[in-house]
Structure 1
Amino acid sequence: MRKLQVQGVHHITLTGADRQTSIDFWEGVLGMPFVFDQPNLDDPDEGHLYFDPGDGRLITIFTNESRKPMHSRTPTDPGCVHHLAFNVSRATWLQVTERLEARGIGHSGPKDRGFMDSIYFKDPLGLLIELATYKFEPPMGASHADVMIEAHRIRVEAGDHHIAEVHLADAIERLVERRQSTLSDDRAPKDPYRRG
């Protein structure tokens, strides 16, 4: 038996209501360019809109002019999507509260998640959306996931409840030590300010 190894999210498809609501939210609120438009090839009564969330992958929406929003919150039963999270820059994240409130969009307020900051709000159909920004940049040649797994190991070793900034900083240091060679015989911390 062998795995079916995935290599990233190809796209996520959501069931939308009317076409304009989708365009107004995904492009008009979240700034995702509307990049492709065609009929739903499995249902001639539906449209299929494609948006770029910023990484070249796709969020797609099935639309139908006869569908109307029906939830104040989409179902969270087992097997349902709880929320979608999108990455934003730190500069944008610092503006999210103000920009949501300027549109009259209710939100959770900022949430500190230890390794990232988040804010939650609902799309016009009741789907919970999270905008998140990492508190760290991975070292060259490493991914956010590389830092996260190393920070998790450090957190568990320390017996701490959740990942915090100290675990992230130590994880980045460990990754740099493993990935980058040095001419020094000893890479241990030093004190160049000590007085003899």
Structure 2
Amino acid sequence: MQKIQTQGVHHITLNGADRQTSIDFWEGVLGMPFVFEQPNLDDHDVNHLYFDPGDGRLITIFTDEARKKDSSPNPNAPGTVHHIAFSVSRATFTQVERRLEERGIPNSGHKDRGFMDSIYFRDPLGHLLELASYKFEPPVGFTHAQVLLEAHRIRVARGDMAISDVHLADAIEDLVKRSQESLSDDRGPKQPY
């Protein structure tokens, strides 16, 4: 038996209400370009809208003009989606709370997650969304996930509860040391002053 190896999220499809609500939210609030639409090929009475969340992948929405929007929170039960998180730049993150408040959108305010900063709010249909900004950039040739895996190992070895800046900094240093050769015999910290 072999695994079925995934290579990333292809797309996420949500059930929407009317077409314009989806366009106004996904493009008009979150800035995701509306890239194409067509009928739902499994149900031609439903429309299928496609948005680019910023990485060339897709968020798609099934819309039906007969469905009314309901902003009640979606169920929080086993088998349901808790939230969807989207990446934003640090510069954008510092503006998110104000920009949501300008629209009257309730939100969690800034949440420090140790390795990232987050803010939570609901879309017009009750889906919980998160906008997240990493506190670090991975070294060239590495991904955020690889840095987090290394930071996790460091955190566990030290007996700490959650990843913090020190774990991230040490993880990045370790990854660079292992991946980049040096002519120095001793690559340890020094005090040249």
Report the TM-score when normalising by structure 2: 0.99
What runs of 5+ residues in structure 2 fail to find an aligned partner?
none
- Does the 8 A contact of 2:70 with 2:124 survive in 1? no
1:63 maps to amino acid: T
Q: How does 1:154-173 map to 2 (within 5 A)?
A: 154-173=154-173
3-state secondary structure, aligned to 1:187: coil
1:9 aligns with 2:47: no
Q: Following TM superposition, by how much is the alpha carbon of 1:191 offset from its aligned partner in structure 2, in angstroms?
A: 1.1
Matched, 1:51 2:55: no
Q: What amino acid does structure 1 have at the position aligned with 2:51?
A: F
1:71 Cα offset (Å): 4.6
* Aligned-partner Cα distance in 1 for 2:184–2:161: 36
Partner Cα separation in structure 1 for residue 168 and residue 60 of structure 2: 34
Secondary structure in structure 2 of the residue aligned to 1:78: coil
Contact 2:71 2:123 (C-alpha < 8 Å) held by counterparts: no
User: Distance in 2 between the 1:190 and 1:91 partners?
Assistant: 34
- Counterparts of 1:146-161 in structure 2 under 5 Å? 146-161=146-161
Q: Distance in 1 between matches of 2:76 and 2:59?
A: 20
Q: Which residue of 1 aligns with 2:99?
A: 99
Residues 1:112 and 2:76 are matched in the alignment = no
RMSD: 0.6
Q: Deviations over 1:129-172 (max 9, x none)?
A: 10000000000000000000000000000000000000000000
CA distance in 2, matches of 1:71, 1:55: 27
Match of 1:177 in 2: 177
Quick check: 108-117 or 70-79, which moved more? 70-79
What's the offset of the Cα at 1:69?
2.1
Contact 2:84–2:130, Cα closer than 8 Å, also in 1 = yes
Aligned length: 193
- Offset at residue 30 of structure 1 (A): 0.2
> Which amino acid is the alignment partner of residue 169 of structure 1?
A
Cα distance in structure 1, aligned partners of 2:68 and 2:83: 20
Q: Which runs of 4+ in 1 moved over 4 A?
A: none
